[in-house]
Amino acid sequence: MKDVTVNKNELLAALQNNRKQHADEYEKVMEHFMETLTVKFEEGYDLLSKGKIPDLDMPSIPESHVDDYDRAIKMVEMEVADTFVLEEHDFKQLVMDEWKWQRVFEMTKRAYGV
């Protein structure tokens, strides 16, 4: 596919929307993570007090990628041109919100029922 020229304001709007959606999803998954962690610790403490070893297996800790969005937003804001030329992989990431880390984040969300 060829490069695409996008309007600066439209790119900023897409990035800000994607950032908000990620931040909201991260907040939800962190709530579930903290609940899960609290239950695991309480169960672990009960088992330890009975002289038994608890199961310490946990799904991975959710990771926020808000800083990835913030960096991209700041770069777009500081650009003096009114348009950007994006290659397909940049468009996929910045506009379509398909980052390299997305798959891991989606698996973490599913692990916590979000």
Q: What pLDDT, on the 0 to 100 scale, is given for residue 58?
A: 76
Q: What pLDDT, on the 0 to 100 scale, is given for residue 2?
A: 85
25-40 as b/e: b if 16+ CB within 10 A: bbeebeebbeeeeeee
Residues 86 and 58: their CA atoms lie apart, in Å, by 39
Please name the helix (run of DSSP H) or strand (run of DSSP E) that holds residue 81, with its range, or none: none
Instruction: Report the pLDDT averaged over residues 18-36.
Output: 96
Q: What pLDDT, on the 0 to 100 scale, is given for residue 57?
A: 83
pLDDT digits (tens, 9 = 90+) for 37-70: 999 999 999 999 999 998 878 778 999 999 999 9
Mean residue pLDDT of the chain comes to 94
Q: What pLDDT, on the 0 to 100 scale, is given for residue 34?
A: 94
